[in-house]
Chain A
């Protein structure tokens, strides 16, 4: 029943009652290859350490030896759960470096696809988080919805997971016939589905008992650690890059930024559920009038941005995803540094896990919503 379970106990006894428990790197609940060392006093976590790097592939180093267009598929592999957002951030950063912008039609289609991807990412988060806490059913419902979104992606660009949907300067593919109908139909169905998940979890005593008061982090600590995304918004600060520093076509649409006050696991759950609803709202508004026009701006075949540097960040589903690109005038960037939200957000784990029970550690890892591809790059 506990197959694939390789917890080792190093019985290094520090002091009378403290033991070190090692979780992972292979573990059903660490959402990837994450190793967590917990210092326990009986049932309580006294201190913790996250050991990462098991999925490090040297993406940033590879970038120095690829041209700008060649590097675009690599960014999909970082946050592989939400590949489209990665692509959006990178393409917009390079466009900033080049001093151009994507045409309006491309911006709107980019917005639609990115918001669909946000819903898909949150759905996967919800399914796996609920599964960790013991609810065996929501994961199937979430994947059913996610399947619809991935079908739209497949029809659009041929891939479901690592989509490489955008190009520097706009889009490569025109939207397929029936794209608007598919998106509208999905948004229409999704409205009821989100409520369905809520009925299973939001008011359930057991769910509330497992998530309320677990993994609390205050807004000040979030800011001090650099934590962004739903984690920050659930702690009380209303900060979303789509409203604060709008990019793509977000300034044209109306949507809310959900926030909560306490910053525990339950609040993060509510924030992400509400974000899914707001993303649906954006999609519906955007798909109503997609402007006509070209989909690719005037960028040459060979990209040689002028020497300089740029930092551009977007609101990825997991937080602020930033790209810092330094160009030295050649076709290959001098340095690409990615600011991955999961990597920075994982710092909050230590704070959240302090004083928590061992059984809550799994819930805390899930609630930060990390993807190891992004943490390790």
Chain B
């Protein structure tokens, strides 16, 4: 097979294939994450969620996509046509472009850049233009202000999130996504256990960056200021929507790579720490998960009211069975293939867990008011992130120069950082009322 591909384009074939796979699968994946959100929302609100379109709502994303595609394309009369066309395009392009450097498995990466992490951060920050230009194109003063406000929120929390990432980078020693995961393998621990405060900062920052609750004031329905998406409908709106969920997956991917061990299996180096024992049964978990899902689908299939829904449910069950088979087959294949396939599974599992936290927060917490949001970002998160970076730096110095055991160095410095966090949190409470009256006086 290798002889058929001329050597001049051989290095480019695999990345192109990966790129095509990502661009093809991502809209489907985003649609199903929306379905997951609706089902989780319903579960937390004591109701069922979509149940009719496909069994248990499983075909809902397809119905929604079809509806959005065939909707009339309305352009406001006085809108700037170029910007109106460009804004959702910019959002989606940047969201998809960031996947170029995101590794989903040890070999599933379109481009292994030396500065992969910075690339992803930079490209996702370009998504601001989609928001700002969209607000501009709406030709409404308050839409524009809402868009600018959303952009300001994004920029502030990006700073905090980036600083949160720096603390993990100090431990990883490189910006290349592959080497970061390799560093977690070499050090034998996921970075979330070494820098939990950094993970917390990054999580809060990423929720604000993707405009999710409790930081979704610019998008809120009951607020006075109209959001930047107001004038968009049909396909253009679905592009914005896709960009938002693609962004969510990107930040989940970054968090997974940096803090949660990327594609590493839990306890990847158990046999190094505890020779003689082996946790290889973890390798069976991917197949078991899909088998359980298939069994559940087949269990539910006869209970569906309509014939076609039974068929669809059975089809989903069959697909889960195939995946279970693929996972099991990978066990018997060469180590690279197994690492690749299982790595992809563990990566996606961690991404889904991180996204579940996003969904959980959305339905539990009320919304922050915009000034409170900015105050939280600038007066709590950024100082905490700076202190965190300094303390992790000190921990590394303790580890390398003074020879402390890494575990104790990290523990002590994390406790120091948590103390600072507690102080910052209470310091923010007291003067807030005084600040408000001060604002009215000055």
A interface residue numbers (CB < 8 A to B):
1-3, 5, 7, 9, 11, 21, 23, 28-29, 43-44, 130-137, 140-141, 144, 200-201, 204, 206-207, 209-210, 212-213, 355, 357-362
Which B394-442 residues sit within 8 Å CB-CB of chain A?
432-433, 436, 440
**Nearest CB of chain A from residue B204's CB, rounded to whole Å:** 12
A28 touches B366 (CB 8 A): no
**Nearest CB of chain A from residue B130's CB, rounded to whole Å:** 15
Q: How far is the CA of A144 from the CA of B436 in the complex (A)?
A: 38
User: CB within 8 A of B46: which of A140, A200, A209, A358?
Assistant: A140
Q: How far is the CA of A204 from the CA of B372 in the complex (A)?
A: 14
B224 at the interface (CB under 8 A from A): yes
B223 touches A362 (CB 8 A): yes
B224 touches A140 (CB 8 A): no
Most-contacted residue by chain A among B224, B227, B364 (CB, 10 A):
B224
Contacts of B222 in A (CB 8 A): 28-29, 131-132, 134, 362
Q: How far is the CA of A360 from the CA of B368 in the complex (A)?
A: 11
A9 touches B365 (CB 8 A): no
B229 touches A134 (CB 8 A): no
A11 touches B45 (CB 8 A): no
B129 at the interface (CB under 8 A from A): no
B148 at the interface (CB under 8 A from A): no
B226 touches A134 (CB 8 A): no
User: CB within 8 A of B221: which of A5, A11, A135?
Assistant: A5
Count of A-B contacts with CB under 8 A? 104
| A–B pairs, 17, beta carbons within 8 Å | A2-B226, A5-B221, A7-B142, A9-B141, A11-B141, A44-B440, A134-B367, A135-B365, A140-B45, A141-B46, A201-B366, A206-B365, A209-B368, A209-B372, A210-B366, A359-B223, A359-B224
Contacts of B221 in A (CB 8 A): 1-3, 5, 28
Q: How far is the CA of A136 from the CA of B359 in the complex (A)?
A: 12
Q: How far is the CA of A292 from the CA of B216 in the complex (A)?
A: 57
User: CB within 8 A of B369: which of A9, A130, A144, A210?
Assistant: A210
Q: How far is the CA of A206 from the CA of B230 in the complex (A)?
A: 26
Q: How far is the CA of A131 from the CA of B367 in the complex (A)?
A: 10
Q: How far is the CA of A1 from the CA of B244 in the complex (A)?
A: 13
B367 touches A133 (CB 8 A): yes
Instruction: Bits for B31-45, please: 1 = Cβ < 8 Å to A, else 0.
Output: 000000000010011
B363 touches A136 (CB 8 A): yes
**Nearest CB of chain A from residue B214's CB, rounded to whole Å:** 6
A134 touches B366 (CB 8 A): yes
B219 at the interface (CB under 8 A from A): yes
B224 touches A1 (CB 8 A): no
Instruction: Bits for B175-219, please: 1 = Cβ < 8 Å to A, else 0.
Output: 000000000000000000000000000000000000001101101
B368 touches A358 (CB 8 A): no
B214 touches A206 (CB 8 A): yes
Residue of A nearest to B440 (CB): A355
A213 touches B230 (CB 8 A): no
Contacts of A135 in B (CB 8 A): 364-367
Residue of A nearest to B240 (CB): A1
User: CB within 8 A of B230: which of A5, A9, A358?
Assistant: A5
Q: How far is the CA of A21 from the CA of B371 in the complex (A)?
A: 19
Residue of B nearest to A355 (CB): B440
B273 at the interface (CB under 8 A from A): no
Contacts of B45 in A (CB 8 A): 136-137, 140-141
- Apart from A2-B229, A136-B363, 10 more pairs, CB < 8 Å: A2-B221, A3-B221, A5-B230, A7-B142, A44-B440, A134-B216, A134-B220, A201-B366, A206-B368, A359-B369
Q: How far is the CA of A135 from the CA of B45 in the complex (A)?
A: 11
**Nearest CB of chain B from residue A45's CB, rounded to whole Å:** 11
Residue of A nearest to B47 (CB): A140
B18 at the interface (CB under 8 A from A): no
**Nearest CB of chain B from residue A202's CB, rounded to whole Å:** 12
User: CB within 8 A of A358: which of B224, B362, B367?
Assistant: B224
**Nearest CB of chain A from residue B360's CB, rounded to whole Å:** 11
Contacts of B371 in A (CB 8 A): 43, 357
A7 touches B219 (CB 8 A): no
Closest 3 CB pairs of A and B: A134-B367, A140-B45, A135-B366
Contacts of B378 in A (CB 8 A): none
Contacts of B47 in A (CB 8 A): 140
Contacts of B224 in A (CB 8 A): 7, 21, 23, 358-359, 361-362
